[in-house]
């Protein structure tokens, strides 16, 4: 197998080599990007430029972070695995075509996921009679087979049959990778719980609940906070929810001195973890990564070219195109708008939401648990989710030799992308009702922007009637903050602007 590795340290631990040895042939290019910022928390980009044509249009790369360079590199390698193996395995896998109504007669209710429990976009024409392409998933509880729509299992359009139109924009939420299936499934599950818990409580809907940190901080948090303070950045840890016994938190911040690139003012780190200390440490470290990543990926091309190795951007753009983030034109357009404004303008847009501090939540009131590693975290999350009656499904996309594990986790009933793609189910309707939000209403007629939430009859009865979701109001609330929800592929905006400048100069 052909492999050229550039930029990685000579000494890497076994976990890193597990991924490197599993990847298909191609060049590995790695480099740190934390030098863009002044905080000093390790952030690395690792990219795989594959030789196989099967990955044409997919640019496998990851941005990792952590307390050490090794930890950051390992995280980036895991993200590459989550991009590579769905295309290499799912594209070749057999698919079942048919409607839920037809297939449930063959497989039974436990053998196929009900589309009306998968948080369809409001107003979607998809229902139990709609013909879809399905792939096999497994139930984590007992390993039994369950069909799920390819629309939710896919990582990119390359995994779809020619001409197949997915019922929602493809997203990567729920992807997980690790040394074995349980590790990977737990990883994907915690990502789903993170977004299910915070989706209506941060970004454009941020309630401004800041976390009161104790004077004597645990070392894992204190060291990170002190690094930011030394760099003249005030971190603002915030609380979303403690549902399922998890500390669902996030971290934003304000620069005392102007950031190197304006977009860094919009950075945010998230976490959902049974232990508050580990949750906050992850969110704060991810905030540092978000600052560097956004500056590198969406900042000026000249800056990216000073950080990346020679020809990296050209190779990246030649390879990229089919990833999940490339299919959202609104994300591209709104990111163009962001790149035209200064940090002060971005902070003004965020002042009433993401950067607001209206109330306090005591750190001492957050969940605490003994969680020695990611495997234990996933197990605790699994127990809580299954105890609440949810079915955890996963699509196994691991390589044939199982050298690493890669999965896409799907939990029917869990929520995601309500404010961007209008996907909403019973839980988010109930949450919005509890918040007295005008985004949902009952009674009356549907319209192009007042769209019926697609639910089972049982869910409609529990809610007291057919709910409608106001997509126009959602767009108004999100306003200029759409790139907080969905970003275009890295470097695409700057590349486009550079191309226009080159064309104009001719």
Q: What is the CATH number for 20?
A: 3.30.160
Q: What percent of the chain has pLDDT over 70?
A: 97
Which of these three, 91, 112, 136, is where a domain ends? 91
pTM: 0.95
Residue 493 inside a domain? The answer is yes
Same domain, 366 and 500: yes
- Which pLDDT band holds residue 386 (cuts at 50, 70, 90)? very high
- In whole angstroms, give the CA distance from residue 187 to residue 404: 13
Q: How many structural domains is the chain composed of?
A: 2
Half-sphere exposure of 109 (CA within 13 A, CB side): 3
The residue from 69, 91, 113 where one domain ends is 91
Residue 87 shares a structural domain with residue 231:
no
Q: Is residue 14 part of a domain?
A: yes
Do residues 247 and 367 share a domain? yes
What confidence tens digit (pLDDT) does each residue in 263-288 have?
999 999 999 999 999 999 999 999 99
The last residue of one of the domains, among 74, 91, 108, is 91
Task: Establish if 423 belongs to a structural domain.
Answer: no
Examine residue 388 and state whether it is found in any structural domain, yes or no.
no
Domain that holds residue 241: 201-301+328-373+481-505
Residue 324 scores a pLDDT above 70: no
Question: 9-13, 52-56, 117-121, 318-322: lowest mean pLDDT where?
Answer: 318-322
Is 67 within the bounds of a domain? yes
Q: Do residue 499 and residue 365 come from a single domain? A: yes
Residue 102 lies in a domain: no
Query: Tens digits of per-residue pLDDT, 130-164?
Result: 999 999 999 999 999 999 999 999 999 999 999 99
Using 50, 70 and 90 to split pLDDT, how confident is the model at 1? Answer: low
Q: Quick check: is 415 in a domain? A: no
Pairing of strands 359-362, 209-212: parallel
- Whether 180 is covered by a domain: the verdict is no
d(CA 166, CA 217): 47
Check residue 497 and give its pLDDT: 79
| Mean pLDDT, rounded, of the chain | 96
With CA atoms as reference, report the closest residue to 290 among 320, 313, 316, 270: 270
Model pLDDT for residues 102-126, shown as the tens digit of each residue: 999 999 999 999 999 999 999 999 9
- Rounded Cα–Cα distance for residues 368 and 309 (Å): 43
206 and 87 co-located in one domain:
no
């Amino acid at each position: 197998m052909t492999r050229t590795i550039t930029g990685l340290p000579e000494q890497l631990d076994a976990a890193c080599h597990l991924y490197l040895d599993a990847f298909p042939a191609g060049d590995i290019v790695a480099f740190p990007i934390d030098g863009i910022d002044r905080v000093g928390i390790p952030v690395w980009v690792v990219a795989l430029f594959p030789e196989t044509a099967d990955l044409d249009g997919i640019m496998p790369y990851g941005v990792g972070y952590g307390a050490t360079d090794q930890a950051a590199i390992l995280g980036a390698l895991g993200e590459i695995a989550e991009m590579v193996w769905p295309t290499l395995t799912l594209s070749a896998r057999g698919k079942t075509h048919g409607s839920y109504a037809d297939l449930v007669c063959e497989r039974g209710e436990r053998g196929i996921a009900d589309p009306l429990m998968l948080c369809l976009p409001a107003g979607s024409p998809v229902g139990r009679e709609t013909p879809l392409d399905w792939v096999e998933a497994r139930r984590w509880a007992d390993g039994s087979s369950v069909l799920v729509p390819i629309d939710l299992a896919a990582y990119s359009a390359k995994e779809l049959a020619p001409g197949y139109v997915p019922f929602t924009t493809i997203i990567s939420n729920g992807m997980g990778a690790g040394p074995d299936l349980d590790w990977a499934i737990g990883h994907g599950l915690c990502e789903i719980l993170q977004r299910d818990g915070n989706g209506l409580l941060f970004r454009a809907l941020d309630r401004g609940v800041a976390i009161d940190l104790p004077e004597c901080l645990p070392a894992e948090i204190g060291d990170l906070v002190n690094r930011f303070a030394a760099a003249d950045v005030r971190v603002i840890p915030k609380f979303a929810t403690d549902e399922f016994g998890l500390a669902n938190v996030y971290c934003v911040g304000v620069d005392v001195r102007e950031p190197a690139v304006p977009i860094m003012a919009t950075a945010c780190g998230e976490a959902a973890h049974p232990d508050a200390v580990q949750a906050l440490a992850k969110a704060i470290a991810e905030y540092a990564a978000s600052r560097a990543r956004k500056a590198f990926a969406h900042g000026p091309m000249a800056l990216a070219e000073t950080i990346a190795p020679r020809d990296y951007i050209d190779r990246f753009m030649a390879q990229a195109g089919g990833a999940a983030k490339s299919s959202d034109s609104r994300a591209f357009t709104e990111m163009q708008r962001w790149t035209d404004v200064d940090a002060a303008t971005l902070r003004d847009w965020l002042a009433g939401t993401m950067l607001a501090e209206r109330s306090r939540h005591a750190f001492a009131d957050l969940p605490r648990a003994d969680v020695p590693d990611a495997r234990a975290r996933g197990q605790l999350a699994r127990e809580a989710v299954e105890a609440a009656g949810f079915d955890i499904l996963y699509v196994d996309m691991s390589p044939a030799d199982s050298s690493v594990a890669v999965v896409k986790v799907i939990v029917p009933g869990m929520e995601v992308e309500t404010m961007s793609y209008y996907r909403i189910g019973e839980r988010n309707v109930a949450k919005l009702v509890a918040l007295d939000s005008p985004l949902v209403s009952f009674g009356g007629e549907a319209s192009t922007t007042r769209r019926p939430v697609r639910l089972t009859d049982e869910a409609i009865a529990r809610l007291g009637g057919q709910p409608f979701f106001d997509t126009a109001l959602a767009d108004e609330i999100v306003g200029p903050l759409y790139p907080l929800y969905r970003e275009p592929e890295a470097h695409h905006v700057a590349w486009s602007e550079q191309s226009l400048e080159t064309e104009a100069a001719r």
